[in-house]
Amino acid sequence: MKLSRFLLGLAAGAIALTGIAAQTPISGGVLKFAVSAEPPNYDCHAQTSFAFIHPVRPHYNTLLKFDTAKYPAIKGDLAESWNVAKDGLTYTFKLRKGVKFHDGSTFSSQDIKATYDRLRAPPAGVRSVRQASYADVASIETPDPLTVVFKLKKQNASMLTNFASPWDCVYSAAKLKQDPKFPERNIMGTGPFTFVQHVAGSQWTGRKFEGYFEKGKPYLNGYVAIFISGAPMVNALAAGEVLAEFRGQSPADRDRLVKTLGGKAVVQETPWVCSLVVTFNTKKKPFDDQRVRKALSLAIDRWAGAEALQKIALVRDVGGILRPGYDLAASEKELVQLPGFSKDINASRAEARKLLQAAGVPNLSFTFTNRNVAMPYVPVGVFLIDQWRQIGVNVKHEQLETRLYLAAQQRDNPTFDAALDFNCDFMDEPNLQLQKYLSHDRSAINYAQQTDRVLDDLFDKQSGELDKKKRYAILREFEKRALEQAYTVPTIWWHRIIVHDKRLKGWNITPSHYVGQDLADVWLDQ
């Protein structure tokens, strides 16, 4: 079989053509796929990692979801239809009839209200990383069991897409009333698959929900997510022991798998709404000094790094706080004027040394906390450490498994010096990507711990600005300040490559490794 790969834009991604006409889905079979890390807990609202979304998402539905065949088009999930008022302040959703939770209880508008109340105003001890996304919601009303109305304080340019977030798993209002922390330890949704078991360090298993509201779906009898990474994961793909890994493979692994699998391989590629960012702990000296943070950003040759790293890792493009190529992102002409993005690396490093000298730390040493995930954390971490050595900085590379890595940054009083963090989301949207840069008291995903009301104000201005040109101008102000202050700085944006067995059908790549993972439309051609 001849494989063809097309790099397309964000709207459609890139899909390998196999020469096979559209087929009628076949029911049956158990899909085995690999996940290269393990979920830290079971609560959708508290998580940001693919390690969670890939094994857990099939158990849940959301209000809306993305149509992966027409990405970024949105379609209903638990919502059957919706209406947005002309003033942009009222969103009314009509919900599906006959939806059941896995315990047999009936789904209603009360479950939507309880879920979004938890997301926007989590009770004590509950973590919501999407709280900022729903800060503009003034109230949620439930006039009847199949209608829910969101009323906003002000217009929000991204509100509709927020409702399609794969992280906004809908929970049972009754379970949340009994225990707001119920989802941290239990799996119980309305999704296409019920929870069977989680064997720590081994696998996660789901079984077809016979009471699923979409007639005939899911097609699969079940799935098994096997926790395996690195070379063993690639070997498992090559041997057909697993049919897919839905996050992404390196160019070298792609080429090896295509060579090994031959006509059994399908390759899908796309730009990726995901970047690795360096986060500095601003509560810890000397990273409370803007000069130190800026110096370390200036030392990074992102342009040469992208050229070299794309040959061995799943990174490719140089960009600022928004994905390069996105229509609200800075152009290359604008980007090279910003700190850390000049193509004159010698001049940038000379300035970096002067800043470290002025800050009183010319011989700076620190520990760099990283995730022990091979692609692309480890190679990018090694690259960054080498870049900092070019200005006389000595760095120890600390690589932690996912649970410990996330805990090191997310706890109330983090002790890390600097960390390689990720800024990934389910689509291009400033209201999502910019949350990493908001003040700590406004964003649960800001691990730098800073308070910067200038950035907060600029964020609010762009969020409510519906005129695209005006929003673009505000975003450039935001980006300039964010990179000058350097609390958190982007490195290189990712490029997604998926190689899967041709027996896997109904799965479409998107520019987000969070989208399209409910497995409702996936089937096996056995």
33-67 confidence digits (pLDDT tens): 999 989 888 999 999 889 999 999 999 999 999 99
Least-confidence region, from 120-124, 201-205, 387-391, 401-405? 401-405
What is the number of structural domains in the chain?
Answer: 2
Distance CA 74, CA 412 (A): 36
Residues 294, 420, single domain; the answer is yes
> Token pair for residue 225?
């997510």
- Compute the average pLDDT of residues 296-317: 96
Q: Distance (Å, rounded) from C-alpha 171 to C-alpha 139?
A: 18
Q: Which helix (H) or strand (E) holds 66?
A: strand 64-66
Whether 313 and 441 map to the same domain: the answer is yes
Residue 441 buriedness (CB in 10 A; 0-12 / 13-18 / 19+): exposed
- Domain endpoint, select from 187, 205, 226: 187
140 with 283, same domain? no
Residue 81, domain CATH = 3.90.76.10
- Domain extent, residue 446, equals 272-495
Is the CA virtual torsion 73, 76, 81, 82 positive or negative?
A: negative
Burial of 38 (0-12, 13-18, 19+ CB in 10 A): buried
Would residue 51 count as lying in a domain? no
Q: Are residues 353 and 473 in the same domain?
A: yes
Q: How far apart are CA 506 and CA 68, in angstroms?
A: 10
Domain of 301, CATH number, reads 3.10.105.10
Select from 427, 397, 399 the least CA-distant residue to 229. Answer: 399
Residue showing tokens 């798998």: 257
- Mean pLDDT computed over 212-240: 96
Query: Encoding tokens for residue 4?
Result: 């063809």
Examine the domain organization and report whether 181 and 77 are in the same domain.
yes
Q: Where does the pLDDT of residue 9 fall: very low under 50, low under 70, confident under 90, or very high at 90 and above?
A: very low
Residue 141 and residue 151 in contact, taking contact as beta carbons nearer than 8 Å: yes
Question: Would residue 221 count as lying in a domain?
Answer: no
Decide if 24 is inside a domain: no
pLDDT in tens, 352-375: 999 999 999 999 999 999 999 888
- Residue 303 resides in a domain: yes
Q: What would the mean pLDDT of 402-427 be, rounded to a whole number?
A: 86
Q: For residue 41, give every residue at least 6 positions away whose Cβ sits within 8 Å of its Cβ, in sequence order, or none.
A: 47, 184, 185
Distance CA 465, CA 474 (A): 9
Q: What is the pLDDT of residue 403?
A: 82
Contact 131, 122 (CB under 8 A): yes
Dist CA 117 CA 129 (whole Å)? 13
Phi/psi at 278 (nearest 5 deg)?
-95, 125
Predicted confidence band of residue 451 (pLDDT cuts 50, 70, 90): very high
- Rounded Cα gap, residues 86 and 188, in angstroms: 37
Of 159, 187, 215, the last residue of a domain is 187
Rounded Cα–Cα distance for residues 169 and 171 (Å): 6
Average pLDDT for the chain? 93
Give the per-residue pLDDT at 148. Answer: 98
* Separation between Cα atoms, residue 371 and residue 135, nearest integer Å: 31
pLDDT score of 461 more than 60: yes
Mean pLDDT to the nearest integer, 186-202:
97
Better-predicted residue by pLDDT, 4 or 201: 201
Grouping H, G, I as helix, E, B as strand and the rest as coil, residue 338 is: coil
Helix (H, G, I), strand (E, B) or coil at 10: coil
Distance from C-alpha of 102 to C-alpha of 192, rounded to nearest angstrom:
9
Please tell me the distance from the alpha carbon of residue 348 to that of residue 345, in angstroms, as a whole number.
5
**Peptide bond connecting 180 to the previous residue in cis, omega within 30 degrees of 0:** no
Distance between first and last Cα of the chain: 17
Instruction: With respect to residue 244, please indicate whether it lies within any of the assigned structural domains.
Output: no
pLDDT in tens, 241-286: 999 999 999 999 999 999 999 999 999 999 999 999 999 999 999 9
H/E element, 345:
helix 345-358
Residue 175 has pLDDT above 60, yes or no: yes
Residue 526, pLDDT above cutoff 90: no
Enter the tokens of residue 222.
Answer: 């079940």
DSSP secondary structure string for all residues of 198-242:
EETTTEEEEEE-TT-SSTT---SSEEEEEE--HHHHHHHHHHTSS
Same domain, 183 and 276: no
Residue 300 and residue 157 share a domain: no
Is residue 140 domain-resident? Answer: yes
* Same-domain status, 175 and 283: no
Q: Is pLDDT above 90 for 7?
A: no
Which residues touch 490 (CB under 8 Å, ≥6 apart)?
275, 276, 277, 319, 320, 321, 423
Query: For residue 408, what are the CA distances in angstroms to 13, 288, 376, 423, 425?
Result: 34, 18, 19, 16, 21
CA–CA dist 223, 207 (Å, integer): 7
Identify whether 260 is part of a domain: no
Distance of CA 525 to the CA centre of its chain: 30
| Residues 6 or more apart in contact with residue 256 via CB below 8 angstroms | 234, 238
Residues 181 and 280 reside in one and the same domain: no
> What would the mean pLDDT of 90-102 be, rounded to a whole number?
98
Residue 411 has pLDDT above 80, yes or no: no
Q: Assign 3-class secondary structure to 270-318.
A: EEEEEEEEEEECCCCCCCCCHHHHHHHHHCCCHHHHHHHHCCCCCEEEC
CA 414 to chain centre: 22
Q: Is the peptide bond before 286 cis (omega within 30 degrees of 0)?
A: yes
Handedness of CA 315, 320, 325, 331 (dihedral sign): negative
Task: Give the Cα separation of 329 and 344 in Å (integer).
Answer: 22
Is 257 a member of any domain? no
Specify whether 80 is located in the same domain as 182: yes
**Cα atoms found within 13 Å of the Cα of residue 474, Cβ hemisphere only:** 21
Note the pLDDT tens digit of each residue in 113-171. Answer: 999 999 999 999 999 989 989 999 999 999 999 999 999 999 998 899 999 999 999 99
**Percent helix, percent strand, percent coil in the chain, to nearest 5:** 30, 25, 45
